[in-house]
Structure 1
Amino acid sequence: MNFKSLGRLFSVLVFPLVLTSVLVTGLGMSATVSAADGQTSQQMANAKTSDADLWRAVKAGDSGFTTAQGVEANVLINVVGNQGTIIKNEYLTPAMAVAVLGVFAAFLVFYFVNGPSKLSNGFSGKMVLRWSKADLILHWMMAISCLGLILTGLIIMLGKHFLQPYVSDGIWAAVILVGKTIHDWVGPIFMAAWVLCVVKWMPMQTFKMYDLKWFLVVGGYINFGPFKGKHPDSGFANAGEKMWFWTLTIFGLFICVSGIMLVLPGLELPREASMAALLIHASSAIIIIAFTIVHIWMATVLSEGGIDCMKSGYCDENWAVQHHNLWYDEIKENGTLEYKD
Structure 2
Amino acid sequence: MNKWFKQIGVVIALMFSVMTFAHASGNVEESLTVQDGNAQLWAQLKDGAEGRTTSTSEFHKQPINTYDLRVFDLRSDWLAPALALSLFGMIIIFVLFMKINGISKLHGGFTGKMVYRWSKFDVSIHWLGAIPCMLLILTGLVLLAGRYFLQPYIGEGMWAGLVNASKVIHDYMAIPFMLGWALMVVLWAKNQMPKMYDIKWMMVVGGYINFGPFKGKHPDAGFANAGEKLWFWAFALFGLIISVSGMLLLFPNLFEPSRTLSLIALVTHSVSAIVICAFSIVHIFMATAMSEGGMDCMVSGYCDEQWAKQHHNLWYDEIKEKGELKYKD
- Provide the TM-score with structure 2 as the length reference: 0.87
Task: Give the Å deviation of 1:72.
Answer: 1.7
Partner of 1:324: 312
**Residue 264 (1) aligns with residue 243 (2):** no
Partner of 1:278: 266
The percentage of counterpart residues that share the same residue type is 54
Partner of 2:216: 229
Contact 2:249 2:266 in 1 (8 A): yes
Partner of 1:186: 173
Tell me which of 187, 197, 210 is aligned to 2:197.
210
Tell me which of 102, 110, 119 is aligned to 2:97.
110
Contact 2:76 2:145 in 1 (8 A): no
Q: Residues 254 and 48 from structure 1, CA distance in 2 versus in 1: closer, same or farther, beyond 3 angstroms?
A: closer
Contact 1:80 1:272 in 2 (8 A): no
- Tell me the alpha carbon deviations over residues 129-159 of structure 1, each in whole angstroms, 9 at most, x when there is no partner: 0011001111111111111111111111121
Contact 1:117 1:302 in 2 (8 A): yes
Tell me which of 125, 129, 133 is aligned to 1:146.
133
Whichever residue aligns with residue 274 of structure 2, its letter is I
Task: Give the Å deviation of 1:227.
Answer: 0.1
Task: Give the Å deviation of 1:209.
Answer: 0.2
Greater Rg over alpha carbons, structure: 1
SS in 1 for 2:115: strand
In 2, the alpha carbon distance for the partners of 1:204 and 1:183 equals 31
In 1, the alpha carbon distance for the partners of 2:57 and 2:268 equals 25
- Tell me the alpha carbon deviations over residues 162-211 of structure 1, each in whole angstroms, 9 at most, x when there is no partner: 22223333322221111111111110000111111011000000000000
- Provide the TM-score with structure 1 as the length reference: 0.84
SS in 2 for 1:128: strand
Task: Give the Å deviation of 1:77.
Answer: 2.2
Contact 1:81 1:271 in 2 (8 A): no
In 2, the alpha carbon distance for the partners of 1:253 and 1:64 equals 39
In 2, the alpha carbon distance for the partners of 1:150 and 1:96 equals 9
Q: Residues 243 and 55 from structure 1, CA distance in 2 versus in 1: closer, same or farther, beyond 3 angstroms?
A: same
Measured on the aligned residues, the alpha-carbon RMSD in Å equals 1.8
In 2, the alpha carbon distance for the partners of 1:285 and 1:156 equals 12
In 2, the alpha carbon distance for the partners of 1:134 and 1:147 equals 20
Partner of 1:78: 65
In 2, the alpha carbon distance for the partners of 1:180 and 1:60 equals 36
**Residue 195 (1) aligns with residue 193 (2):** no
In 2, the alpha carbon distance for the partners of 1:143 and 1:254 equals 17
Tell me which of 302, 309, 313 is aligned to 2:290.
302
Partner of 2:116: 129
Q: How does 1:150-161 map to 2 (within 5 A)?
A: 150-161=137-148
Contact 2:111 2:306 in 1 (8 A): yes
Contact 1:60 1:79 in 2 (8 A): no
SS in 2 for 1:72: coil
Task: Give the Å deviation of 1:51.
Answer: 5.6
In 2, the alpha carbon distance for the partners of 1:265 and 1:157 equals 19
Task: Give the Å deviation of 1:160.
Answer: 1.3
SS in 1 for 2:294: coil
| Structure 1 range deviating more: 58-67 or 128-137 | 58-67
Partner of 2:24: none
Q: How does 1:93-104 map to 2 (within 5 A)?
A: 93-104=80-91
Partner of 1:241: 228
Q: Residues 86 and 329 from structure 1, CA distance in 2 versus in 1: closer, same or farther, beyond 3 angstroms?
A: same
Contact 2:246 2:265 in 1 (8 A): yes
Q: Residues 47 and 339 from structure 1, CA distance in 2 versus in 1: closer, same or farther, beyond 3 angstroms?
A: closer
Whichever residue aligns with residue 264 of structure 1, its letter is F
Q: Residues 87 and 51 from structure 1, CA distance in 2 versus in 1: closer, same or farther, beyond 3 angstroms?
A: closer
Q: Which runs of 5+ in 1 are unaligned?
A: 1-44
In 2, the alpha carbon distance for the partners of 1:258 and 1:186 equals 15
Contact 1:131 1:314 in 2 (8 A): yes
Q: Residues 314 and 76 from structure 1, CA distance in 2 versus in 1: closer, same or farther, beyond 3 angstroms?
A: same
Whichever residue aligns with residue 314 of structure 1, its letter is Y
Q: Residues 255 and 91 from structure 1, CA distance in 2 versus in 1: closer, same or farther, beyond 3 angstroms?
A: same
Partner of 2:15: none
